[in-house]
Each structure stands twice: as structure tokens, then as C-alpha cells.
């Protein structure tokens, strides 16, 4: 059995990496982190067809598989690229397609004419003193850590995993930017006060499908970010000298780099299999997504920590920008469920809890 990327998938990966190499330099990431916009980056990705990846051809999409999307997610993480890839290209199309009857939304997403944010936190980790309270065709309550500050509309999940569509400029909706460690993607707090909302789905399975693919894409993003940190650590170890020798010649540094590579390399096959299972192995998809999200969160944390240590004091400065990848791994670890939560979900799926 051969399990690897096809020629078409390698070409997709090369094209995305080439674009990101040219347009998402460290300086571009810094500019975004300091308050810049991601419109030009997203427009370029739109011209490559990235928002249309998972959308069927009948709606103007490309109709590729989650594995193809995971390849792009890894590249996005490698470059710490800003943009609504997780929301507008992955989770929103999954919701609209699974719910059915939203061809206009799918066509607009495929064309890059619509940005849809995701406010799912209340669906899987509702707080005791908060939540979403539907009242007919209106919403009240609050969603925290909603993805994409620049979205045109938001898919909002309540505690029952029902999903609603809310316009970003809707009456009674306020958006409060949230400060998080990750400056390469922006989240907001949404507060609803009799805000008009359209019910998209009352089937918890639609919510679960969007969560599954979202978690796999976050794992792929972490894979890319961690790989970049390893590459930076190895390159730095070749150049940095102490006692008239490159530090990469010291056994302790060699062991640190080797341990990072040994832990991360098997994760690539794990991410590919998890993405493959979403389409081809539905009975295994949810469990695999949980395990992949949890495992990549732990490995990403280890690589981020160790790579920074290899860089020594320089690793903590803004000069190298290593902290952007470090914080990206940290944010991915928490978003859509921390390792403890998704492991508990996996235990329930297996009948162990």
C-alpha cells in the first residue's frame, strides 16, 4: 500500500507555498500583527482557488477532498499566514453543504465574495453563566473567541449545537476585538441583543462535521508551524558559533533537533490519514480527528518550546519573529477544544467514559 501525495497534490502544495513565500514574508506578518489587513493575501489565495477547494463544481467550486485542504492548511501554518482559511474555506462550506439548500452562499464563498466567521465556542464549551438564547428568529447572549474579525457574517452555534447565520452588521450585534497571544489571526467577542438570525441547521451532526474538519485543519496548521520552527532551529544551529564552533556541532543541540524531528515526522502521516478519513472512512473520522488534534497540540507545544531553547536568548526576541510560530501553535492547541477536552470526547466515542 502506498500512502502519499499525488502529483496534483504536490503541485497544489508547491503553488500555495510559492505564493506564500512571495506574499507572506516575516515583515508582512509583522505588519498584520501591528494592525494591518489581510485583504491582499486572501485575494491572492482566492485567485489560486483556495476558498473553492471543498465546494462542489456545480456551485463554482473545485470539489477537492479534505486531504487537499490539509495540504494547504500545513502551508498556511508554515508561513503563519493571516486570512480566513479555517472559516471561509473550511468550516463554513462544510456547514452550508451539510445543511443543504444554500447554493447561493456556497457560490459566494467559492468566488471569494463572502467571508463567514465561526462562533462555535458555546456549542462545545458553553460557560455556566453564559450562552446563546434563541427567541424565534432572534438571538440573545454572547459568543466568545469567534473567528475572523473581518467577516461579513457569522455562523453561530448554541448550547444545543443548532447553527444560526447572523449578519456582521445586523441589528443588535456588537463585535469586540479580543486580545490573544496569536497576532496572526483575529478573534472577536460577539454580543447579541435581539439580533436577527437565520436557522441554518438544528442537526447536531452538521455541527459535529464542521468541528471534525476544523480540528484536522488546525492540526495541519500546527504541523506546518512546527516544521518551520524546526527548520529555523537547524539553520540557526549551523550559523551560531560558541567557542569557535557552530552550536549545531554540540551533542546536546544535535539531540534537541533530532528529538523535534523524531516527534514531528510521524504526525504528517497522522494528519493526512485524519483528513483522508473525513471522506473515505466516516466510521473512524470523528475519533481520528480528536486524537490528531490532541496529539499535534502536544507535539506542537514540545517543538515550539525546544526550538526556542535552541535559539537561546535570541529565540525570545522579535528580531527573529520566532514567537509568531510559537504563539500560533499555542492558539491552535486551545481553539476548537484543548487536548483534555478532545481526549474526553474520544473516550466517550470509544465507550471508555
CA distance to 230, 239, 248, 250, per residue, from 245 (Å): 20, 9, 8, 8
Tell me the CA end-to-end span of the chain in Å, nearest whole number: 35
| pLDDT-based confidence at residue 243 (cuts at 50, 70, 90) | confident
In the structure, what pLDDT confidence band is assigned to residue 128 with cuts at 50, 70 and 90?
low
Q: What is the pTM of this model?
A: 0.94
Question: pLDDT class for 302, splitting at 50, 70, 90?
Answer: very high
Q: Is residue 121 over pLDDT 80?
A: yes
Task: Say whether pLDDT at 127 is over 80.
Answer: no
| Helices of type H across the chain | 7-23, 26-33, 39-47, 66-78, 92-99, 103-110, 121-125, 204-239, 251-280, 282-311, 322-334, 339-349
pLDDT at site 2: 61
7-109 homologous superfamily: Acyl-CoA dehydrogenase/oxidase, N-terminal domain (1.10.540.10)
Give per-residue pLDDT as tens, 86-101: 999 999 999 999 999 9
Contacts of the segment 27-30: beta carbons below 8 A, 24+ positions apart: 29/79, 29/80, 29/81, 29/82, 29/184, 29/321, 29/324, 30/321
According to the model, what pLDDT value does residue 1 have?
43
From the candidate CATH numbers 1.20.1560.10, 1.10.8.80, 1.20.140.10, 3.10.580.10, the one assigned to the domain spanning 205-349: 1.20.140.10
CATH class name, domain 116-203: mainly beta
Averaged pLDDT of the chain: 93
Report which DSSP code applies to 91: I
Dihedral pair phi/psi, residue 131, rounded to 5°: 155, -175
Give domain limits for the chain.
7-109, 116-203, 205-349
Exposed / middle / buried, residue 351 (Cβ in 10 Å: 0-12, 13-18, 19+): exposed
The stretch 174-183 carries a mean pLDDT of 93
Farthest-apart Cα atoms in the chain, separation: 73
Amino acid at each position: 500500500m502506498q500512502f502519499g501525495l499525488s502529483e496534483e497534490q504536490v503541485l497544489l502544495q508547491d503553488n500555495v507555498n510559492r505564493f506564500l513565500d512571495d506574499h507572506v514574508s516575516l515583515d508582512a506578518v509583522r505588519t498584520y500583527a501591528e494592525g494591518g489587513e489581510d485583504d491582499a493575501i486572501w485575494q491572492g489565495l482566492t485567485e489560486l482557488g483556495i476558498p473553492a477547494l471543498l465546494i462542489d463544481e456545480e456551485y463554482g467550486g473545485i470539489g477537492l477532498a479534505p486531504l487537499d485542504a490539509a495540504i494547504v492548511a500545513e502551508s498556511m501554518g508554515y508561513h503563519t499566514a493571516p486570512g480566513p482559511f479555517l472559516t471561509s474555506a473550511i468550516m463554513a462550506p462544510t456547514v452550508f453543504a451539510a445543511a443543504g439548500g444554500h447554493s447561493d452562499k456556497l457560490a459566494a464563498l467559492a468566488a471569494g465574495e463572502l467571508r463567514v466567521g465561526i462562533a462555535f465556542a458555546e456549542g462545545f464549551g458553553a460557560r455556566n453563566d453564559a450562552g446563546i438564547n434563541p427567541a424565534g428568529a432572534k438571538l440573545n447572549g454572547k459568543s466568545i473567541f469567534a473567528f475572523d474579525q473581518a467577516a461579513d457574517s457569522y455562523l453561530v452555534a448554541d448550547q444545543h449545537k443548532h447553527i444560526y447565520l447572523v449578519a456582521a452588521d445586523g441589528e443588535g450585534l456588537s463585535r469586540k476585538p479580543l486580545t490573544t497571544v496569536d497576532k496572526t489571526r483575529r478573534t472577536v467577542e460577539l454580543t447579541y441583543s435581539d439580533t436577527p438570525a437565520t436557522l441554518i441547521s438544528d442537526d447536531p451532526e452538521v455541527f459535529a462535521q464542521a468541528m471534525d474538519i476544523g480540528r484536522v485543519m488546525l492540526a495541519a496548521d500546527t504541523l506546518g508551524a512546527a516544521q518551520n520552527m524546526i527548520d529555523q532551529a537547524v539553520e540557526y544551529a549551523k550559523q551560531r558559533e560558541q567557542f569557535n564552533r557552530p552550536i549545531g556541532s554540540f551533542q546536546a543541540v544535535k539531540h534537541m533537533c533530532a528529538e523535534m524531528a523524531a516527534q514531528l515526522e510521524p504526525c504528517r502521516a497522522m494528519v493526512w490519514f485524519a483528513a483522508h478519513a473525513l471522506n473515505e472512512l466516516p466510521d473512524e473520522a470523528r475519533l481520528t480527528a480528536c486524537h490528531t488534534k490532541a496529539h499535534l497540540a502536544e507535539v506542537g507545544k514540545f517543538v515550539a518550546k525546544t526550538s526556542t531553547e535552541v535559539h537561546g536568548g535570541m529565540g525570545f526576541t522579535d528580531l527573529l519573529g520566532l514567537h509568531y510560530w510559537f504563539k500560533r501553535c499555542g492558539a491552535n492547541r486551545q481553539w476548537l477544544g484543548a487536548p483534555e477536552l478532545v481526549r474526553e470526547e474520544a473516550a466517550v466515542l470509544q465507550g471508555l467514559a
